[in-house]
Structure 1
Amino acid sequence: MEHNLYTILGVSHTASAQEVKLAYKRLALKYHPDRNQGNARAEELFKIVNAAYQILSNPGKRARYDLKLQYLQEQRQTIQQHQPYHNPRYRQTREPASVSERHYQNIPRRDERRFARKDLYITAGFFAIMIVFSLLLKVTMDYITGEDKYKTALTYIEDGKYSSAHSLLTDAIYFRPKHADAYLTRASIEMHVYENYRSAVEDLNQVIALQEKPSAEAYLMRGKCLAKLTQYKQAESDFGQALSLDSTLHVAQLDRGEVRLFYLKKYGPAIADFSAFLVHSHKGESWANALTFRGFGYYKTGDYAASEKDYRRVLQADNNNGRVFYLLGRTELEQAQPDSACAHFNEAYRLGYSAALLELRANCR
């Protein structure tokens, strides 16, 4: 059986969120360190099960993971269909020709005739015209072929055939090396499907170089990839460039705030980014993330009351968020509210956020 996150939890690819959650709880109880003290294998399995649940319980991460599984399956099928066939029994060779079959003839030399200067000019002009015509024909055919492959790739993407679309986009770029849209589309596949961020950055560099006025989308995508490659200063710069080109691209504020908060330790500017994003967002996963991140930013700056307020707003919308219960407990500890903090650590652990166990052991009796 293929080893993947679904087989780790023992559920099918079509399992519902509730089935995934029940399977995780069963395995988490089975391999929990408290039940298997001294058992290193059980501890490792507990970590694996927890990591699998973190992906499959998140709709966005699960969708990207399913796309990766689909891509790998397509790659295996392609390799199986193109296995080379070699069998010595089918190799047929002919014995070398005998001496009697070989014919050597003396080719008589023809009389050479000198070209007149006029003939030379006419011949040169004819070949020049043919060369120019051939070049124009090649440029035209390359343009048509490149555009056709690009448009076909777009239809493949709509059908979820990302591997085939990627190959067609590569062909389109071969025929039209300055096709900025083809580079941008291929970068999107490399970024969101294959998670090959380095290749995506190379394509996005081409997009920005080729576009007369580089788009905010190109800078936003490159900033996301640079953040994944731990190039945080460059990522911050790209997010800022995206916002300068399109002030309505509010997701860039969320992304830049995240880089500033967690990696550059610029807590004040990060809080400002999250606050600007929240002016235009009032619900959904991005809204919850912005509130959670801003709450953590307030926590790092010592503004515990503001931090607690943001965490409680998230929990009003989603009371199954174990991570936020955990963060709220830490904020309450800083405000000398141990009873409330312990209750929230316990709730976080009940919801599967294992890091809360350390706080329970250290601060709660």
Structure 2
Amino acid sequence: MSKNYYHILGVSSSATSAEIKRAYKRLALKWHPDKNPHDSHAEERFKQVNDAYQVLSDPRRRAAFDLQQQYEQQRRQAQAYATPRYHHTRNPAGFTERHYRQRPKQHTHFSRRDLQIILGGIILTILLIIGINLGWGKIASGRAMTLARQAEQQRLWQKAAEAYSTALEYKPKLEEARVRRGALRLGYLKNPAGAIEDYTVALQENASPPAAWYAARGKGYLQTKHYLKAILDLDKALSLDQNLAGAYLDRGLAHLQWEDNWSAAAADLSNYLQNLPDSSALATEALLYRTFAYFRMQDWKKAWQDTEQALRQDASNAKAFYLQAKIKLAQGDSASGCRLLSKAAKLGFALAVDEVKDQCARLGLKTLKSKKSLKSR
């Protein structure tokens, strides 16, 4: 029996030349040896596709192939009619030869014992699955916690957070993993929204959460600029533990940034400074925050004293010179203000650079004009 080239190309015997060509291109690309290296089956199929196209793309060869197919089909039909389907069979039995008997009825309902066995099997299966899951979850979560602690020791913060997340996938109520991930998100990964989510779940699931958790969530709200929520959380933290120095700083910053209560901000920053060494960089930064609170309260004396103390701790603090300049300008001393702005600008404080170009340039122009008018007189 010859090959059916139409079947090889996947087209009907009435396909047009264009259809045959499209089918050939598709199959040739599919079975090409370059696309199927070391594949003997693909190589054989490619040869068959090529042979089929060579025949069917030539009108004369295609006509000869069609005649051959038609002849083989007629020959098969003739053989089918000439060959009897069954051999050595007898005629069907008559009615008198057939015997019938009643089949006994089969009961298809379940007995109580059957139901008990099935129900017991289902319960045992469920208990087995639960036991396996609990055991595997405990093992997997424990391994993830070990990896997380090791990553934290190596200061691999992202890897540690991912390991804590894996532990929480197996044990969602694992408090340590959730709180530690929240601390990493807040302190190192710059993800305060994720930290808020973690601490919120921890606070909800713990009947008596520690003050530090409220303080941490308050810090997250501060970083996301939800100042009222930050203040409420920090109030709660300090009501539980008045020794949380960082909570005073964060609440003071929340008041400053929300601009709702300058005196409360100054009081919180004062409480924070009581717990810090005077020479620390954190103390210097807190002094300048308190300076801004005093400045907004127009308490020029206290604001100036804080900047002076900050400069004693850091003589090249550009922010301190800038705040001193703002104090002098607010008091009407433009010359001293511009001189201090110039110092801050030379130290690289961007706001001071812009204000020197704007305010002090105009002041210098006015001074020059006044000198010229005096000379003319």
Using the size of structure 1 for normalisation, the TM-score is 0.65
Quote how far apart the aligned CAs of 1:355 are. Answer: 2.0
2:342 aligns with 346
Aligned partner of 1:341: which letter?
Answer: G
Choose which of 135, 139, 163 in structure 2 pairs with 1:168: 163
- Provide, for residues 193-230 of structure 1, a one-character-per-residue CA deviation record: whole Å limited to 9, x for no partner: 33122222222211111222222222222212212222
Q: What amino acid is the match of 1:204?
A: Y
Residue 307 (str. 1) matches residue 291 (str. 2): no
**Number of corresponding residues:** 264
Q: Which runs of 5+ in 1 are unaligned?
A: 1-86, 96-110
Q: What is the match of residue 182 of structure 1?
A: 177
8 A Cα contact 2:151 2:160, kept in partner = yes
Q: Which residue of 2 aligns with 1:219?
A: 214
Range that drifts further, 300-309 or 352-361: 352-361
- C-alpha change, 1:114 and 1:94, in structure 2 (3 Å) is farther
Supply the AA of the counterpart residue of 1:252: A
**Contact kept? 1:162, 1:189, Cα under 8 Å:** yes
Identify the residue that residue 324 of structure 1 maps to in structure 2.
Answer: 320
CA RMSD of aligned residues (A): 2.8
Deviation string 1:61-105 (CA, Å, 9 cap, x unpaired) is xxxxxxxxxxxxxxxxxxxxxxxxxx964798999xxxxxxxxxx
Does residue 235 in structure 1 map to residue 230 in structure 2?
A: yes
Q: Does 1:210 align with 2:189?
A: no
88 and 152 in structure 1: CA distance in 2 versus 1, 3 angstrom threshold: farther
Which range moves more in the overlay, 306-315 or 276-285?
276-285
Match of 2:87 in 1: none
The residue that corresponds to 1:37 in the other structure is: none
Would you say the 8 A contact 2:141–2:167 is kept in 1?
Answer: yes
Structure 2 match to 1:136: 131
Measure, in 1, the Cα distance between the counterparts of 2:350 and 2:158: 37
Q: 2:254 aligns with which of 245, 254, 259?
A: 259
Q: Determine if contact 2:318/2:343 at 8 Å carries over to the other structure.
A: yes
Shift of 1:246: 1.8
1:41 corresponds in structure 2 to none
**Equivalent-residue separation in structure 1 for 2:345 and 2:268 (angstroms):** 31
Deviations 1:253-298 (A, max 9, x none): 0111011012233101111111111121233222112211111111
Assess, with a 3 A threshold, how the Cα gap between structure 1 residues 357 and 168 changes in structure 2: closer, same or farther: closer
CA distance in 2, matches of 1:359, 1:126: 82
Q: 2:272 aligns with which of 274, 277, 280?
A: 277
Q: Structure 2 CA distance, aligned partners of 1:123 and 1:338?
A: 94
Q: SS in structure 2 opposite 1:194?
A: coil
- Going from structure 1 to structure 2, the CA distance change for 1:215 and 1:88 (only over 3 Å counts) comes to farther
Partner in structure 2 of residue 118 of structure 1: 113
* Distance in 2 between residues matched to 1:188 and 1:266, nearest whole Å: 29
- Distance of 1:93 and 1:235 partners within structure 2: 70
Query: In structure 2, the residue corresponding to 1:355 is in which secondary structure?
Result: helix
Distance 2:294 2:157 in 1: 41
Change in Cα spacing, 1:178 to 1:94, as seen in structure 2 (3 Å) is farther
Letter in 2 for 1:299: F
- 2: CA distance between counterparts of 1:315 and 1:147? 51
Q: Secondary structure at the match of 1:213?
A: coil
Q: Among the aligned pairs, what percent are the same residue? A: 25
Asked if the contact 2:148–2:160 (Cα under 8 Å) also holds between the matched residues in 1, the reply is: yes
Larger Rg: 2
Go from structure 1 to structure 2 and tell me whether the alpha carbon gap of 1:272 and 1:93 turns closer, same or farther (over 3 Å shift). farther
In structure 2, relative to structure 1, the CA distance for the partners of 1:145 and 1:337 (3 Å cut) is same
Tell me how far apart the structure 2 counterparts of residues 92 and 143 of structure 1 sit (CA, whole Å): 47
Question: 2: distance between equivalents of 1:153 and 1:92?
Answer: 47
What is aligned with 1:148? 143
Quick one: structure 1 residues 264 and 345, their matched pair in 2 at CA, closer, same or farther if it must change by over 3 Å?
closer
- Listed as ranges, the matches of 1:37-76 within 5 Å are none
Counterpart of 1:335 (choices 327, 331, 336) is: 331
How does 1:84-123 map onto structure 2 within 5 Å? 89=36, 116-123=111-118
* Structure 2 segments unaligned to the other structure (5+ residues): 1-33, 43-105, 365-377
Q: For residues 102-138 of structure 1, give each alpha carbon's deviation from its aligned partner in whole angstroms, at most 9, with x where no partner exists.
A: xxxxxxxxx9987653354244334423422432342
CA contact (8 A) 2:158 2:189 kept: no
Bigger mean CA deviation after superposition, 182-191 or 306-315? 182-191
Contact 2:222–2:250 at 8 Å: present in 1 too?
no
Structure with greater contact order relative to length (CA < 8 Å, sep ≥ 6): 1
**Residue type at the aligned position of 2:202:** V
Q: Distance in 2 between matches of 1:92 and 1:342?
A: 83
Alpha-carbon contact 1:308-1:332 (below 8 Å) kept: no
Q: 1:183 to 1:94 in 2, by over 3 A?
A: farther
Identify which of 167, 179, 194 aligns with 2:189: 194
8 Å contact 2:321–2:340 — kept in the other structure? yes
